[in-house]
Structure 1
Amino acid sequence: MTRWRRPAWWSVLLTVAAVALFVRLGVWQLDRAAYKDSLVRRYAAAASAPPVPFGQVAAAPPADAFPRVAVHGSWLADRIYLLDNPHHDARGGVEVYAPLALPGDPRLLLVDLGFLPGPGKDMPPLPAGEVDLHGLYLPPPGVGLELGGDALASQSRWPKTSIYLDLGQVAKDLGRPLYPRILALDADPSAIYQREHAFDFSSMPPARHRAYAFQWFSFAVAVVAIFLVLHRKRRPRRTDNR
């Protein structure tokens, strides 16, 4: 028969504190997963929404929203940037970006033209003159770990290549300020570029948050199990003396 030893007050306190902490961390991870699920839904809804004039959201885009905008301007066609980072390794190619000048505006809008297989040397020339564009006004891709400093400043030939996209460095390289977000162009079957602008969670998609939540809840269960094991004792077995 199993009996329980009376636990010390400090062991009860530590156990309760540890369980409360692990449960709280698990709930927090579930909340983060739900938040990112809502971002995915809003992102999907924005892709089919009617465009709004770019000027309405240009300088101060709504937080956690991805407006689809219409914008008018002309390309700086000789200033192309190629993003070549691990996200593209599986397909072997680059994401192509070009600045757009808006009439009477000193700021430039960096436009994501889409993914281009290969090293990016077979890009068609951008059209001259003014163009009308539609797309999602999105935060720039995550910078991550910047190894080696500003890669753009050390390059003298165009297009310029980098493994991350830093709008501050691009603005410095162009000598003009940039808008705080980029324009991800709508899909176009006739374009050479592949435009699949899935929402980028970097290394923390919703599923990973749920996995971490399960891990924290498991720790809470383990703490309780350890507490019970350490505070049980067995009665000695009776022996018959004959």
Structure 2
Amino acid sequence: MIGLGVWQLDRRAEKAAMIARYAGNRARPVMAFPNPPIGDEHLFRRASAMCLEVVGWSEQAGRAENGAKGWRHIAECRTGIEALTVKFDMGVSTAPGVAPVWKGGEVTGAITHAPDATPLLAGLFGKRPPRTLMLVAEKPAPGLAESARPDPSSVPNNHLAYAVQWFLFALAAVVIYVLALRWRGRKVKSE
């Protein structure tokens, strides 16, 4: 358990470096959206891509840049001749079921993870493939409010709390062990 606590302290430093790298991505110049859009090295960086044709829309609970809660509208777009599609968060509406009128075009925005339907337990115990990326558009589709921009400060770094938890588990195990030895010693003396 102590080893797990030390490991969590090491992970804390790694996570802090990763968050700093993501924060640095925000200051880098606009890049072409990665093709295919997977991997985390470009998270939070500004990128642009061309949506040639919207092939589908999905809705998900979200938050607008002004803090209002609503439904974010994610366009799945064809980006070229190949069968590759890319997801674009095109903005937030205050009610579900709004049908955006946006048909495609150039999109510039911040890179973040696209929503996926992998169950939490499957992600914890199964081998999870790299998460797909999407762009959160800086300019929303007509009739929608701008989605909240992805922020590196939202990436949790709770490894210190995990380390403390493991150290407390180790301490509890030592206390239980000492109490068991004392109880066993008293039992031997009484016989």
Length-normalised TM-score, structure 1: 0.54
C-alpha distance in 1 between matches for 2:15 and 2:88: 25
The yes-or-no answer on 1:114 pairing with 2:106 is no
User: In the superposition, relative to structure 1, how do residues 91 and 31 fare at CA in structure 2: closer, same or farther (>3 Å)?
Assistant: farther
The CA distance in 1 between the partners of 2:133 and 2:6, in whole Å, is: 32
How far is the alpha carbon of 1:45 from its aligned partner? 2.3
Name the structure 2 match of 1:50.
29
- Residues 211 and 106 (structure 1), Cα distance of their counterparts in 2 relative to 1, 3 Å cut: same
Distance 1:36 1:120 in 2: 38
Q: Please list every run of 5 or more consecutive structure 2 residues that lacks an aligned counterpart in the other structure.
A: 121-130, 187-191
| Letter of the structure 2 residue corresponding to residue 206 of structure 1 | N
Query: Partner amino acid for 1:101?
Result: R
Instruction: State the 1:220 CA deviation.
Output: 1.6
Aligned-residue Cα RMSD (Å) equals: 3.6
Q: Is the 8 A contact 1:42 1:65 kept in 2?
A: no
Cα deviation, residue 46, structure 1: 2.0
Code of the residue aligned with 2:135 in structure 1: it is L
CA displacement at 1:71 relative to structure 2 = 1.6
Aligned length: 167
Task: Determine the structure 2 residue equivalent to 1:240.
Answer: none
Q: Secondary structure at the match of 2:119?
A: coil
1:68 aligns with 2:19: no
Aligned to 2:127: none
Larger mean CA deviation between 64-73 and 104-113 belongs to: 64-73
Tell whether 2:76 aligns with 1:125: no
Q: How does 1:214-233 map to 2 (within 5 A)?
A: 214-229=164-179, 231=181
Structure with greater strand share of residues: 2
Indicate how the Cα distance of structure 1 residues 42 and 120 shifts in structure 2: closer, same or farther if over 3 A, else same.
farther
Aligned-pair identity in percent equals 25
- In 2: Cα distance, 1:43 partner to 1:110 partner: 20
The higher-RCO structure (CA 8 Å, 6+ apart) is 1
Uncovered stretches (5+) of structure 1, i.e. residues with no partner: 1-21, 147-178, 235-242
Aligned position for 2:6: 27
Amino acid at match of 2:113: P
1:210 aligns with 2:160: yes
